[in-house]
Amino acid sequence: QIREDYFTLYKDSERRFSLGEVSMEIYRNSVQAYYKQVELVIEAQTNFNSSKLLLESLIGAPLQEIDGYQGFLQRLDAELRAY
């Protein structure tokens, strides 16, 4: 949602800049703010994916195969007992 809000502000600034209603600086700031949000979303998705892969490697199964929290705890308990 935040990225969409920044995109809307960016497009509005672009339109207003093309009409001469805002300065180049305001337009540039809105472009930079939008792309910063895009960067943050990509970074968050990368961190999530890395954490998910780490968790899956620790439990030895894809998260899609885990049927809820209780199933996860049972598998974790079995793995711990195997060591």
pLDDT of 46 reads: 95
pLDDT in tens, 16-66: 999 999 999 999 999 999 899 889 989 988 998 899 899 989 989 887 777
Instruction: Say if residue 67's pLDDT is above 70.
Output: no
pTM summary value:
0.62
Check: CB of residue 62 under 8 Å from CB of residue 48: no
pLDDT band at 78 (very low <50, low <70, confident <90, very high): confident
Closest among 47, 83, 6 to 14, alpha carbons compared: 6
How long a stretch of residues is the chain? Answer: 83
